[in-house]
A and B are shown apart, each in its own frame.
Chain A
Amino acid sequence: MADNYDKLTEAEKAYWDIYTRLRELSDWAGFGDAQKKVQSASRDWLVNQRKEIWRAAQPKADGGDGGGWDKNQRSARYEQLKDDKLNNGSCRRVAQLPTNAGTPSEKANISEREMWWRVSSVDDQTKSWRQANADRLTNTRKSLYTLAKQTTWDRADRKARYNNLCIATKTGKPYESWSKTHNTTTGKTNPPPSSGPSAGKDTSSRGKAVSRARSYLGTSEHPPGSNRGTPQPSGWQKRVIGSDGYAWCACFTTCMAWDAGVKGGSSAGVVVCMTMAQRAVGMYRGWTTDPSKVMRGDFAVIGCSTCHIEMVVDNDDAYHTIGGNTSPGTEGSQYNGGTVAEKHRGHGEVIGWCLVDYPD
């Protein structure tokens, strides 16, 4: 089915991005009532706009303007705003802002802000929605500041969360510092310098997670089949679940992310990691079945929702992974093989990806 997003008017593009972004967040634990209302109202606007396009395209005798379907690319715009497209379409303008360690509502609101970061208001209604989102984030930032000052910063990653809220509201030193190392339009990390002592070195947290995972290639259980081994994989299991002797694929991915600076909880259970990602809880910032949205350091759920999980190691190939408790080749158990190995998974093997909330 042809994609005609680029044929939409500026107002239609804005409403498309608002609606699809909120729909993407609507399963999240922190998705609030105010966001639900905007999601519903933006959908209503798009549905009504499609009706208006149809009316305008009718012959003059039937109330149209005589321009027909060819005027102003009405045919393409009418197609783009069909229910099916709205139900499955994705937001086209989204920045990347840090939400690491955030509570559910902080994550949901910063993730809405990622859309507003790139989408300007087109009328009074969208202006009020954009402002309301910014106000929620500003109020949360100030309330968190009060709470931390009156009690402690050393709880629930308050400092990291406060910094993220400062960045999302373009405030203070955290924002100034972030803007020196990130593209302030897209939010992406600037590439490593081409000269100087850190030339070409990938110092991003995603880069660190992948390097760390790679450093453990070949690590195996001892004795084989025991789901134990000192220092690893027993150490990874103890950090995640408190003891060892268990299936450890999710413990491996979780520890690689933690060791790269990711905050927040995860799980030894694959399906639990998946549900946390779908609700954007703990170390996760979402779930996707679209490989183009996956970056290295995210986790691929493989086989089935309870089967196996590995870390993606290539920004350009979401099926290229390193996993714990698998087997290096095609022989041996892929989901309980006892070894850390690099894999190229088949497209039919991966059921989706847990998007991990890296701090940069």
Chain B
Amino acid sequence: MTTPTDLDLTPRKGSDKLLAEQGAWDKVLEEKSHIEHDLAEEEVMVATSPPDDDGEVTEV
């Protein structure tokens, strides 16, 4: 399995190369960065909230 750190995001051929030629590649990477940032921010907010009793019974 390829690990994420091994991946080279530089477009080489096919549609991603077209995106780069069309000047859209920076927008693609920026959007990805936004998605990951938002998720990371939400994770921190959840992790720092105390676990409240949400009134439900848990079965494991």
Mark A residues whose CB is within 8 Å of B: 27, 29-30, 103-105, 130-131, 134, 138-147, 149-150, 155-156, 166, 169-172, 227, 240-242, 245-247, 249-250, 264-265, 267-272, 274-276, 278-279, 281-282, 287, 303-309, 325, 335-336
Give 7 pairs: A residue, B residue, CB < 8 Å, sorted on A: A247-B18, A268-B28, A268-B31, A269-B25, A274-B7, A281-B35, A336-B18
In the complex, given contacts A142-B52, A271-B9, A304-B14, what are 20 additional A-B residue pairs having Cβ atoms less than 8 angstroms apart? A27-B3, A104-B43, A134-B60, A142-B51, A143-B49, A155-B42, A156-B38, A156-B42, A169-B60, A172-B56, A247-B16, A247-B18, A247-B22, A265-B31, A267-B28, A267-B32, A270-B16, A271-B7, A275-B9, A336-B15
Which residues of B have CB within 8 Å of A265? 31-32, 34-35
| CB < 8 Å neighbour of A335 from B4, B15, B51 | B15
Contact of A166 with B15 in the complex, beta carbons under 8 Å:
no
**Is the beta-carbon distance between A246 and B2 smaller than 8 angstroms?**
no
A149 touches which of B16, B27, B38, B52 (Cβ 8 Å): B52
Q: How far is the CA of A150 from the CA of B50 in the complex (A)?
A: 11
A335 vs B13: C-alpha distance in the bound complex, in angstroms? Answer: 10
A residues near B35, Cβ cutoff 8 Å: 264-265, 276, 281-282
CB distance from B44 to the nearest CB of A (A): 10
B24 in contact with A241 (CB, 8 Å) = yes
Give the shortest distance, in Å, between B6 (CB) and chain A (any CB): 10
Alpha-carbon distance A309/B16, docked complex (angstroms): 11
Is there an interface contact between A171 and B56, defined as CB atoms closer than 8 Å? yes
A272 touches which of B28, B42, B50 (Cβ 8 Å) = B28
- State whether B15 touches A247 (Cβ < 8 A): yes
Count A-B contacts at CB 8 Å: 161
List the A side residues contacting B1 at CB < 8 Å.
27, 278, 287
Q: Are A147 and B49 touching (Cβ within 8 A)?
A: yes
* Complex interface: chain B residues within 8 A of A227 (CB): 18, 22
Contact A307 B13 (CB under 8 A): yes
Q: How far is the CB of B3 from chain A (nearest CB, A)?
A: 5
Tell me if A268 and B53 are in contact (CB < 8 A): no
Q: Which 9 A-B pairs have the closest CB atoms?
A: A307-B14, A142-B51, A265-B35, A306-B16, A247-B15, A146-B52, A247-B18, A145-B54, A269-B28
- Asked if residues B46 and A279 are in contact (CB atoms below 8 Å), the reply is no
Chain B residue numbers with a CB within 8 Å of A103 are 39, 42-43, 46
C-alpha gap A240/B32 in the complex (Å): 11
Distance (whole angstroms) from the CB of A227 to the closest CB of chain B: 7
CA distance A245 to B51 in the complex (A): 47
Contact B49 A272 (CB under 8 A): no
Tell me, in angstroms, the Cα distance from A30 to B7 when the chains sit together: 18
- Give the shortest distance, in Å, between B21 (CB) and chain A (any CB): 9
Name the B residues within 8 Å of A147 (CB-CB).
Answer: 45-46, 49
* Chain A residues within an 8 Å CB radius of B43: 30, 103-105
B15 contacts which chain A residues (CB < 8 A)? 247, 249-250, 270, 306-309, 325, 335-336
* Bound CA span A247–B11, Å: 12
| Residues of A with C-beta under 8 A to B60 | 130-131, 134, 169-170
